[in-house]
Structure 1
Amino acid sequence: MQTNLSEAAQALERAEEAESILRACVHCGFCNATCPTYQLLGNELDGPRGRIYLIKQVLEGQPVTEKTRLHLDRCLSCRNCETTCPSGVRYHALLDIGRAEVERRTARPARERWLRAGLRHGVSRPAVFAGLVGAGRAARALLPEALREKIPAHAPTARPSPRPPARHARRVLMLEGCVQPTLTPGTNAAAARVLDRLGISVTPAPRAGCCGANEYHLNAQQAGLARARRNIDAWWPAIEAGAEAIVMSASGCGAFVKEYGHLLRFDAAYADKARRVSALARDLVEVIAAEPLDAFAPVAGKRIAFHCPCTLQHAQRLGGAVEGVLTRLGFDLTSVANGHLCCGSAGTYSLTQPEIAKRLRENKLDALEAGQPEAIVTANVGCQTHLNGAGRTPVSHWIELVDSLLSPNPQPNL
């Protein structure tokens, strides 16, 4: 694609990257064939090719309108198009650049600004989020439907057994996340128990918090990068002490932490550390899939449907990894039609674009339930919460399913 960036766009820190991505696009339209919003809405501007044209116009200095912002806002950032693209167009990076410029050049309506500010400041702070969820649970009946669906009627209960102490020579860090400790506290506890049985201990890093993706993708990009720097600082002592990986049980966090090195490459103080952190970042399944699984009691034919989050299959390119682990453990995985499509969660998308998100969720649950599974599991807290909001078949994290297979009275593996 030929480009002619404006002088203002040429002065952007990521101008060269944007131009390179634009030039890589050959207008083939293969991306539209797998774009969830294009399939639902049928509008060229609600597909990747149309959005690329919109961003090109913005960077070439043409006027930015509410229509421009609307079509970019409707993008799920699912990166399905990147899996499909034969030219390797890094669409998500171009979208980040375009959205930031649109945000700079247009003023959102007050209601949108308040909503996004609330999501940025409420979701990214675990203690604040916990308080808000508690208050929301008390006043649940009075909340708007889109928000009410996100708040479980009852506080979740984690498996009674505590996390094991750090007792193994092999050590990893684990990101606790911002919403996971409140919404699904059993997930990381289960992950710690499973890792312990495999001879891997989790080193606590209490100063690490939100990965930064929430703020970054709400166009508060500098705030998101500030969180990335704080996490790097929190993890660095353990990294220097020999931690072999930084493990994420939420695939959305894993996808973003793996981008730290790229996003902070211009920061002289953090570039090298950020590259090291991204190199150490692992989704939980990457660690477990590499280990022998004879510590787990095998199952025989329990039918499971697995929802593979977009951040796992398209961003991290780990489609099939969880399915492989579950199959090794004896589970019978049902077929899920259109498994490449997004469920509609997409971080805070289900709150900023609730109608589209709801339609995508219904389609996803129809596909997941079609094989009549005994249980549905996923790999991301956002997807889990969004799917459960429909009040249909309950969805849990796959690691809790694995945790339930731990054989009793293990021999110490020191």
Structure 2
Amino acid sequence: MAKHVIEFVQEILALARKPIDVYRGLIQAHISAEIAPHIDSVVERYSDHEFAELKLSHHLKRFIEIWSRHVAYLNYRDSIDIPDLTAAIDLLDYFTSTTKWWALSRDEPGLVLRPASRDPRNFLKSLPLISIGQGASGRASGAAEKLSGFLKEHRLGSTEAIIDLRQHIVSVWLLLSAFVCKSQGRSTTEEEDFEVAYDIARVLFFYTPPEDFLALTALRQIATNPTLSKAAEINFARGFDRKLDSSLAARLERSHGEYLANIAKVTPSASRNILTNSLRLLAQLQAVKLGMSRIEADEYESVIVGAMSFLDKIDVPSALFHEQSKVVELFKSLQPEEGVEEKMALMRRRIEGLLVDSTGNRDFLLQFTKLIPRITALLLLLAGGTKTQPRERLTDSDVKRALILLNRLLNE
């Protein structure tokens, strides 16, 4: 008995967020009249489909609403904004377009940004073929009763608010159970499917870092931003390349490249030239902004200054390109934690897939082979250049913060 009590206390202490605070935040967050029609427009295409004794659209509406509320709560707001709704929709897309997300755990609570492996709309339309098994249904009912008891005991809201939150979370459990079941080729959810769904929801509510929800949206918006595909088409004159290759940034790269040995194993072409590849992409973005189709040698200084200004807008120091101590610190900060390399590889594949889909050109990446290395280089620059503890290893959270910053940069 004592052992179980100790384990329970340890789990509570390990929580990133306390259940009582999260549930209070979910109850207090409200969907405005402005936001509601946007949710309806997303789910209405599923209104003719039945799932778990309700219209599928009803369950999906609850799913989107609860995660919109959660993202708002994580950002210290009680009113749902469009970015909160967008994050919730991207989370739904993540669960319905990818696999292996059920490996999410308290020890590994971060969302792995895997590439899509199926069409999310077709996947959702197949859910009416999934039935809720007796074991899963019983577990859902029992868990719902416990949730209601907890909410009432702590007086977290009115009776109506408690019923509403309970219904929303039950829909989350049922949908996630069905997603797991369908992904594994079965047609009836089992008790084990509910256990997975329950654990996934718990991890998302109490453990998953806030930036993970924002990073999902940031990655999609980066890859589908037309500015990025336009930037890939910008060419450099040979004279411009020669000037950049002889610049202080290039010399610092060559002088201190040994610090990038570990990260270079993962992204060799990008990581060996983090500074100059970042500058090339920033210069291309500057050229798009100025309506240029080619960057000439005599435009080197003005374009580089403009490229640097992008970083200033997101509070990234330009000293990373010309101060030796800052460059060495940056390169040393890019020693990846275990597992970061694999997650970055999956992230790049997700970006590649979205880029191809958004451009409608299956040969886009073959035509512009340098774009992904340059994006990767800039992400590494942003990840390392904004770390609060530069001496610590590069983490998954650092990379996700970089995604959010790059998205901001593209929208400046």
Which category of TM-score, normalised to the shorter sequence, fits these structures? under 0.3
Structure number with greater Rg is 2
Q: Compute the TM-score of the two structures, normalised by the length of structure 1.
A: 0.21
Higher normalized helix content (fraction of residues): 2
The structure whose RCO (Cα within 8 Å, separation 6+) is larger is 2
